[in-house]
Amino acid sequence: MANNYLITGYWGEPHVTPENDRGIHAGILGAGRFVLPVGEQFKAEYIGNNTVRMYDGKLIDNGAAAGIPAGEYVDLQIANAGQGMNRNDLIVFQYAKDASTNIESGTFIIVQGEETSGTASDPALTQADLLSDTATLDQMPLWRIPVSGPTISAPVKVANIVQLNITQLGTPIATKANLNNIRTPGTYYVPTYDVAQTVSNLPWKGGTSIIDVRQLDAESIMQIVYGSLKGEIFTRYWNESEADWSPWKSTQVTVNGRTADPSTGDIAITVSDINGAARVTTGTTIPNGSDLDTYTTPGSYAISSGTNAASMSNIPYAGANCKLEVLSLGYASGMMQVLTFGDLVCHQYMRRYYNSAWGEWRRVVTDNMLSYADGTLTITTT
C-alpha cells in the first residue's frame, strides 16, 4: 500500500515504523534528548559497594522513547580511580542498532572517563541523529559520577527535563500575585504548590490549579478555580457597578452527607449507596415536567432521578441525583443556575440569566476530565 500515508490507522498489515514514532515524538517535544516529568525521572543515588542505583523514568532520545518501568531500578557498578587520581564517569542511555538484522536495543551503561591528577573531564560520547533512521549507536547522558581515588561522590544530573504539563494551558500566575486583579478573560494556571502559598485571594492552595476567567456581560466577570485534586470547584463573580468580588463559593458533590476527602478527592460509599440510596445534597424537590427556565429564586433544588430529569424542559442532561443551585449575582437582573449531577459521570453545567432571558448551558471542565500522556493533553467529556 505504497500510497497509504496514514500512520495511526489499521492497514491490515504491520506498518508503523520507528521512524514514524520518532518523528511524531520529536514534533511534539522537539528534536533533542529529554527526560520526561513522570515517575522518579531516573533519580540516582550511591548506595555503597561501588553501586549507583537509578530508579524508574521515561526519556526521549531524538524521538525514540525508552524507560525503566515504574517501581523498578537499575544498579550500575563504578570502578575506583587510582590513588590521587580523579575521573568523571557518565551514566548514559545507549541506543544500538544491529546493521545486519536492524534489531534495535536500549540499555543503561557506564561510560568511564580518563583519569587525571587534576580536574576531571567528562568522557566523549557517540551521538547520532535517530530521526534519520540510519544511526547505529547513540549515547544520551543522564548523570555524572565524580570519582576520586576510592571515593565515589553523589551523582550529578546532566540530563534535560522537559516540562509539558499544565504550563501549556494558559498564562502562569506569578509569585505573590493577587487574584482580585485578574479580570482579563482567559485561562491561567498556578504552576506549583510553593507559588500557590504566595497568591492572595486564591481559594485552594493544595498545589497546581487552573483558573478560568469569563466575561459574562458588561457588568459581570466570573472566576472558576479547578484544583489538581478531585473534589471542589470554586466560583465567584465581579460586579462592575460595585467594583467588588463576591465571596468564593465551593461546588462539591456530596453523597449521603459525605464530601470528598480534600487530600485525595475520594468519597467513601456503602452498598446502600450503590443500590440507589445515594443522593446529591438535597433542597426543594423539583416536580416532574418542570421548566428550569422558571427557577429564578435563589436557593437549592433537587432532581431525584434520571426519569424525573428526562421529563423536564430546558435541562442540558438527563442524569440522576441532581442538585440545582440558583445564585444571585447581586443585582436585579443577574442570576446563575449551577446544575450538578451526582451520577457516575458527575456532570456539571452553568448558565446566566440576563435581560429577562437565560443564556445557553455551558459544561464545566474539571480536572478529572483532563489527562496528559506522551505530550498530548486530552479532555474527555463523556
If asked whether residues 195 and 239 sit together in one domain, one would say: yes
Looking at 125, 157, 189, which one is the last position of a domain? 157
> Which residue range(s) make up the domain with 25?
18-157
* Cα separation values, 198 from 178, 179, 381, Å: 9, 11, 33
If asked whether residues 97 and 186 sit together in one domain, one would say: no
The three three-digit cell numbers of residue 276, written as one number:
440507589
If asked whether residues 348 and 310 sit together in one domain, one would say: yes
Mean predicted confidence (pLDDT) in 152-165? 77
Output the pLDDT for position 173. 86
Handedness of CA 100, 106, 107, 111 (dihedral sign): positive
Whether 9 is in a domain gets the answer no
Output the pLDDT for position 332. 54
Output the pLDDT for position 340. 82
Whether 280 is in a domain gets the answer yes
Query: How confident is residue 265, by pLDDT bands cut at 50, 70 and 90?
Result: very low
pLDDT in tens, 31-45: 678 888 788 999 999
Whether 8 is in a domain gets the answer no
If asked whether residues 122 and 175 sit together in one domain, one would say: no
Strands 51-61 and 362-363: unpaired
Output the pLDDT for position 331. 55
The overall average pLDDT reported for the chain is 80
Output the pLDDT for position 279. 42
If asked whether residues 254 and 327 sit together in one domain, one would say: yes
Output the pLDDT for position 115. 96
Work out the number of other CB atoms within 10 angstroms of the CB of residue 101: 7
Looking at 157, 181, 200, which one is the last position of a domain? 157
CATH number at residue 73: 2.60.520.10
If asked whether residues 41 and 130 sit together in one domain, one would say: yes
Whether 323 is in a domain gets the answer yes
Domain count, the chain: 2
If asked whether residues 174 and 229 sit together in one domain, one would say: yes
pLDDT at 105 over 90: yes
If asked whether residues 189 and 261 sit together in one domain, one would say: yes
Residues in the chain: 382
Output the pLDDT for position 281. 43
pLDDT at 101 over 70: yes
If asked whether residues 256 and 197 sit together in one domain, one would say: yes
If asked whether residues 138 and 22 sit together in one domain, one would say: yes
Tell me the β-bridge partners of 188. Answer: 171, 211
Looking at 135, 157, 179, which one is the last position of a domain? 157
Question: Higher model confidence: residue 246 or residue 354?
Answer: 246
Identify which of 141-145, 248-252, 266-270 has the greatest average pLDDT: 141-145
Mean predicted confidence (pLDDT) in 104-129? 94
The three three-digit cell numbers of residue 270, written as one number:
456503602
Strands 151-152 and 33-35: unpaired
**360 residue type, one letter:** E
Among 5-14, 32-41, 89-98, 182-191, which stretch is predicted with the lowest mean pLDDT? 5-14
Among 85-94, 220-229, 250-259, 306-315, which stretch is predicted with the lowest mean pLDDT? 250-259
Query: How confident is residue 53, by pLDDT bands cut at 50, 70 and 90?
Result: very high
Contact 47, 72 (CB under 8 A): no
Whether 10 is in a domain gets the answer no
If asked whether residues 148 and 196 sit together in one domain, one would say: no
If asked whether residues 254 and 363 sit together in one domain, one would say: yes
Whether 5 is in a domain gets the answer no
Whether 2 is in a domain gets the answer no
Whether 245 is in a domain gets the answer yes
